[in-house]
Structure 1
Amino acid sequence: MTNKAAILVAGGRGTRMGGPVAKQYLPVAGKPVLMRTLSVFYQVDPSIDLILVLPENDFSYWEELCAEYKFSIPHRLVAGGNSRFQSVRNGLNSLNFETKLVAVHDGVRPFVSQAVIEESFEVADLNGSAIAVISLKDSIRKLTDDGKSFYEERQYFRLVQTPQTFQVEKIKKAFAVTELQQFTDDATVYENQGWQVTLISGNADNIKITTPEDMDYAEYIAAKQMSDR
């Protein structure tokens, strides 16, 4: 049995997409988003323990989708919570005893590269954590409460992606606390223990599908990937 796991979090209702079906179930180039995401992790390591965190009421719908698309990649379903923090904690609580490393990933980021996933496990094994980030291309300004703004040096900032990969012992300890407002992602939960996170380079195509415009871009990325093969 592998000592690696990946928790794919997809507990949202997709309200910003504006349609009747949550974004994680919508097809991109003929395959639902979540199936694409699961497939990338499976291609990296077919023995990885894949955990998909969904709203419990969606379990039967997901199983119907798997049957419709003949999706057979092994994975386990775990019920999500009322927040991302609670959903991730539910996923962590479902891990096998043997699991030493776990990647936490947004289910609606189907274009994460295999190289990023591989590096995240390698770096987390050595340092405790590995957080995928990318550099900013645009200039940025900081807004103040009194309506003013100030220029900031963009080279000192990074955009945070997933996967965020950790040694299981540490991240479980980090999530054994009361949820706080400043927990915007798993890295902030980890840092709350006083531990410094380790950053790795993400990939620019690793977008988080949230809006209809994101779906259009996702179709473009999927088409480009197919043409590059």
Structure 2
Amino acid sequence: MAGKRMQIKKPYIAAIIAAAGSAARMNGLDKQFEEIDGVPVLVRSMLALSDSDWVDELVVVVRQRDIPDLYALIRAYAVPKVRSVVVGGETRQQSVRNGVAAVSEETQYIAVHDGARPFVTQQVIADTVLDGVRYAAAAAAVPVVDTIKLADADGKIISTPDRNRLFAVQTPQVFEIGSYREASEEAQKVGKDYTDDCQMLEAIGKPVYLSRGDSSNLKITTPADLIFAQAIAMELEERNGFQNRAWL
């Protein structure tokens, strides 16, 4: 994990919320618009990023058919800082690329966040931004708690990696915009399509550092995750004693 913080001047940061996925594992449910304690998943994600003092603007990437519904939600929940809503591509990498193309000219760093991670905390956002600015690339992550096995195509165990060096990567992931664009252009040129933005930077030799994530920063991927999310929402409300905008 990244270490001691340093004093920095706040740069201009655009958050890109990726919400154009097909939700293939949701059994027909549209996870971005499913409600957690009465509030859509995507709204929670947008409010968490927009409420951060580190984030200056939001670009939300969705499917074409979802644009009218998204604008309605932005108005209904008075989500601030939304610069634009853009149509996603066929893959996550293409969708984020579309989002990057829509940020303001003064943008110095981008914070890429999954629309399906509704419980990202202000602390995680701040920590990842600080590390991203310090190192030019950083991603929220948590230590892996299970023992991981590497197997071959037949399912036979090949090796057991050291768990102390394994981390589950979350979002936000924060990048200096010039480095990100360089990595994105190179990936497009060589025909590579990555499922994780960090991989693009790694592929061109740019180091990416891990910042402190949080176990509550759950990504909604399956219907069962919605049940866990409801429990998290209830716990957060009980813990805070009031309804914070980010949790509603």
Separation in 2, partners of 1:129, 1:46: 16
Out of 209, 216, 220, the residue aligned to residue 209 of structure 1 is: 220
Q: Give yes or no for the alignment of 1:130 onto 2:141.
A: no
Identity of aligned residues (%): 34
One-letter code aligned to 2:14: A
Separation in 1, partners of 2:206, 2:54: 31
Structure 1: segments with no counterpart, 5+ residues: none
Measured after TM superposition, the shift of residue 43 of structure 1 is: 1.6
Separation in 2, partners of 1:155, 1:22: 36
SS in 2 for 1:16: coil
Out of 142, 151, 157, the residue aligned to residue 143 of structure 1 is: 151
Out of 61, 68, 71, the residue aligned to residue 69 of structure 2 is: 61
Computed over aligned residues only, the root mean square deviation of the Cα atoms, in angstroms, reads 1.9
Q: Give TM-score scaled by structure 2 length.
A: 0.86
One-letter code aligned to 1:108: A
Measured after TM superposition, the shift of residue 146 of structure 1 is: 4.3
Q: Give TM-score scaled by structure 1 length.
A: 0.92
Measured after TM superposition, the shift of residue 61 of structure 1 is: 2.1
Out of 157, 164, 167, the residue aligned to residue 166 of structure 2 is: 157
List structure 1 segments (4+ residues) > 3 angstroms apart after TM superposition. Answer: 64-67, 69-72, 178-182
Out of 158, 169, 184, the residue aligned to residue 178 of structure 2 is: 169
One-letter code aligned to 1:45: D
The alpha-carbon distance between structure 1 residues 70 and 198, as it changes in their structure 2 partners (threshold 3 A), is closer
For residues 1-229 of structure 1, the aligned pairs below 5 Å read 3-19=12-28, 21-45=29-53, 48-67=56-75, 69-75=76-82, 76-149=84-157, 150-179=159-188, 180-181=191-192, 183-229=194-240
Q: Please give the per-residue CA displacement for 1:130-166, whole angstroms capped at 9, x wherever unaligned.
A: 1111111111211123432133321121111111101
SS in 2 for 1:152: coil
Measured after TM superposition, the shift of residue 97 of structure 1 is: 1.1
